[in-house]
Structure 1
Amino acid sequence: MSATPSALPSTSNSLDAHAIFATLAGLCGSLVAIGLARFAYTPLIPSLIQAHWFTSSQAVTLGAANFAGYLIGALIGRPLASALTNRRALRMLMVVVTAAFFACAYPLSVSWFFFWRLLSGISGGAIMVLVATSILPHIPAPRRGFVSGMIFLGLGLGIAASGTLIPRLLHFGLQTAWTGLGVLALVLTAVSWFGWPSANPPAPVVASHDAHAHGHGNLRLRVLYGQYAANALGLVPAMVLLVDYVARGLGRGAALGANYWVLYGLAAIVGPVICGNVADRIGFGRAYRIGLVLQGVAVALLALSANAYVLAAATVILGMFTCGIVPLVLGRVHELVPHDHVEQRAAWSRATTAFALFQAIGGYGYSYLFSHTHNNYALIFACGATALAFAFVADLAVAAVAKGRAAKA
């Protein structure tokens, strides 16, 4: 008899077996759909080119296909779940991502590969929207920070795997590497299969005073979307240039640059769990504000200092928040839209779309700026720090507006 968490308890502060199983399913989902489908592609690019599967420009285009698909998936996730139910949608999306890994083991044509990379991105974006919002409404409120951190732990595991698992698989060839990723995704899909809650969260009953409060929360939500978009602009410089900055910009070699990436990946693993637990204690809004400050300082340090210890500290902070901001922003959405699971999912979908869009814009924009300023690393990092500073100031401004409204009410 399978463990089917049809109704996860929400009256106790402890997590029972059903809640733990659902959390494990969420971790598997984020690991397969984002951790592996996105981050495992980067270390495969040199081999794809060297094996003459694709040219360098084609390999970059195929990488961008996943980002484009992620945007589409963030938009269609909610309608898909409404049509199929959360459980069926998540199962289907996991199967699609798994199939994409196996399909990419056969480079039949550029269009074939592009189609499957796009499809894996669509599935990843939809899973990102659905995975936590399908599980957290069934979790006791005091434990949601911990559970959301565990769910998005898969992102950090994917970054770490990109620097450890892929090189080992590549010893056996490209086709074996893609097939190995497919087998791993298949195992994780099987583990998660019965963990997804069998029913969508109950329809909310919103009292009149809640509706009034939600009206005041609209401004905070819109600002949160902008903050999350700015956060993407703040993180992209380190995600794209950190290794190259250490290796070429500082002239310390590719080996040391790779060591910094390993440090970044290790921090990404613990980031969601640490951020989620801190938010459970001090609140998601306050935790995210602190996170914006720490990220801004870390990116600024990359622009201002070449000291090895300073770079290591900045790398750890940025690695933590690359994945750690996800449970923080998701939890903030739940704080701003309490008791309304439908609107929570809608707000999270909009936030995810904003992040994905500006992550793509930042990637291409910074690349253009970098190439047209003679590889000015400091300028790129300064742009990222400025974006995070704007996000922090916006948070202070909306808090002041909300306080003024409350005083007048």
Structure 2
Amino acid sequence: MTATTIPGRRPILAYGFGGLAGMAAAMGIGRFVYTPILPSMMDSLGLSASDAGLIASANYLGYLAGALMAAGGGSQGRERTIALSALAASAVLCGAMAVSDSLVAFLIVRFLAGVASAYLMVFLSAIVLGKAASAGRPGVQALHFGGVGTGISLSALITGAVFLAGHGWRESWLAAAAVSVVALAAVAMLIEGVPKSAARPAPEPRLVWTAPLVRIALAYGLFGAGYIVTATFLVAIVRQGEGGPLFESAVWLATGLAAAPSVWAWGFVQRRIGLTTTYAVGCLVEAVGVGASVSMGGYAGPLLGGVLLGGTFVAITAFGLQAGRAMAGAAPRRALALLTAVFGTGQIIGPLLAGYLADWTGSFTAPSLGASAVLLLAAVAALSAGKVR
């Protein structure tokens, strides 16, 4: 047996690529394909920026609800079944977006899609990261989380191809559903289940609210509210600047390509300067990109914004959770639940406020600059939490 093989099972890289496929479908496509499809929906259906922000927030509310429900326990031994079911639901819900033009229907479908993506993330990550730890290959997590950027890139290619074929937003959702079905088949082939253990995990003590933990939680909530504005409206910003549908897809493709290796790349920085400092630096870099997306103009601003967004947000999300876990003492699961809640709350509030502000001012400049300021505050809050390796 080698270090890359699970005893009596398939190679660990099979789990890594299975995780990548699942995260690409449920997270990169299921959650974020809305961003490149949104401008066409706004033009065709007359949706306002406030409507668009409300639909986005419904998805993030679903993600928050799903993550908290998935953390409730009682599913040991059924992780694979739940993950595959969530991925199937994500594919169906992508298709469901194509068959309605009702705002209420969009809200319901995107809420449910958020729940599905959370369940997939929690249970597929439990399998892949657990297998990676057993095989002594923790680096496989970079491949697994690289699925988010891979899915974002695929969503850009989907919308670009649909435009070139002369079709519209409904066909984009249907194509996203078809790609998700392919990913479902890949995950089913590559991922084996986890046998149920007779041992029950010991209950955790109450979470001790130390000052550093409160500050990193504040930083995590602020980050959730700041990054999600550009992650939701970046392609709409390009549309408003009359960049054209192909440039819209190019910006979103650049975002995904930057996101795919970001956890791996930022890992080198984290090992040198620690979790909280890396988190703060990532927020600063992202703040520059968010501001550039609306202030530089032309092609350079949105492209720079997309690259800096993609190159930071997945890694910052991961490092924030790691920092909170390190500060939690004997209650790491409770800390993860807390951080998920504050991050999810930020994701819900950000698009709502940004959408209303965009309608009020007539552009996405003020919401984006506000989001950039929020990311700067997140960096300050993270640094104030102290250094965590």
**TM-score by structure 1 length?**
0.74
**C-alpha contact (below 8 Å) 1:217/1:336 kept by paired residues:** no
Matched with 2:348 is: 360
Task: Give the Å deviation of 1:320.
Answer: 0.8
The C-alpha deviation readout for 1:202-224, integer Å capped at 9, x for no partner, is 76679xxx98xx97785433332
Paired residue for 1:120, among 113, 138, 145?
Answer: 113
Paired residue for 1:224, among 201, 205, 216?
Answer: 216
Question: Separation in 1 of the partners of 2:370 and 2:104?
Answer: 35
The C-alpha deviation readout for 1:238-258, integer Å capped at 9, x for no partner, is 334545556656x87776565
Distance 1:217 1:44, change over 3 A: same
Task: Give the Å deviation of 1:76.
Answer: 0.9
Residue identity opposite 1:398 in structure 2 = A
Residue identity opposite 2:194 in structure 1 = S
Matched, 1:326 2:317: yes
Distance 1:331 1:108, change over 3 A: same
Task: Give the Å deviation of 1:319.
Answer: 2.0
Matched, 1:392 2:376: no
Matched, 1:296 2:296: no
Matched, 1:267 2:267: no
Matched with 1:190 is: 185
Question: Separation in 2 of the partners of 1:98 and 1:254?
Answer: 24
**C-alpha contact (below 8 Å) 1:78/1:130 kept by paired residues:** no
Paired residue for 1:369, among 343, 357, 375?
Answer: 357
Distance 1:134 1:218, change over 3 A: farther
Matched with 1:20 is: 13
Matched, 1:238 2:234: no
| Structure 2 unmatched ranges of 5 or more | none
Question: Separation in 2 of the partners of 1:135 and 1:270?
Answer: 17
Count of residue pairs brought into register by the alignment: 378
Residue identity opposite 1:397 in structure 2 = S
Alignment of 1:1-400 (within 5 A): 17-45=10-38, 56=47, 60=52, 62-79=55-72, 82=75, 85-107=78-100, 114-140=107-133, 143-144=137-138, 146-169=139-162, 171=165, 177-193=172-188, 195-199=191-195, 218-243=210-235, 245=237, 248=240, 259-276=250-267, 278-279=269-270, 283-300=274-291, 312-336=303-327, 343-373=331-361, 375=363, 377=365, 379-399=366-386
Question: Separation in 1 of the partners of 2:229 and 2:247?
Answer: 18
Distance 1:195 1:279, change over 3 A: farther
| Structure 1 unmatched ranges of 5 or more | 1-8, 403-409
**C-alpha contact (below 8 Å) 2:212/2:384 kept by paired residues:** no
Residue identity opposite 1:226 in structure 2 = L
* CA RMSD, Structure 1 to Structure 2 (Å): 4.1
* Identical-pair percentage: 23
Residue identity opposite 1:34 in structure 2 = M
Distance 1:32 1:188, change over 3 A: same
**TM-score by structure 2 length?**
0.77
Q: Which stretch has the larger CA shift, 225-234 or 383-392?
A: 383-392
**C-alpha contact (below 8 Å) 2:215/2:382 kept by paired residues:** yes
Task: Give the Å deviation of 1:120.
Answer: 1.6
**C-alpha contact (below 8 Å) 1:152/1:327 kept by paired residues:** no
Distance 1:230 1:109, change over 3 A: closer
Larger radius of gyration: 1
Matched with 1:407 is: none
Task: Give the Å deviation of 1:280.
Answer: 5.3
**C-alpha contact (below 8 Å) 1:48/1:59 kept by paired residues:** no
Question: Separation in 2 of the partners of 1:382 and 1:108?
Answer: 31
Task: Give the Å deviation of 1:157.
Answer: 1.9
Question: Separation in 2 of the partners of 1:336 and 1:230?
Answer: 18
Question: Separation in 1 of the partners of 2:97 and 2:303?
Answer: 35
Q: Which stretch has the larger CA shift, 72-81 or 366-375?
A: 366-375
Question: Separation in 1 of the partners of 2:169 and 2:152?
Answer: 19
Question: Separation in 1 of the partners of 2:99 and 2:352?
Answer: 29
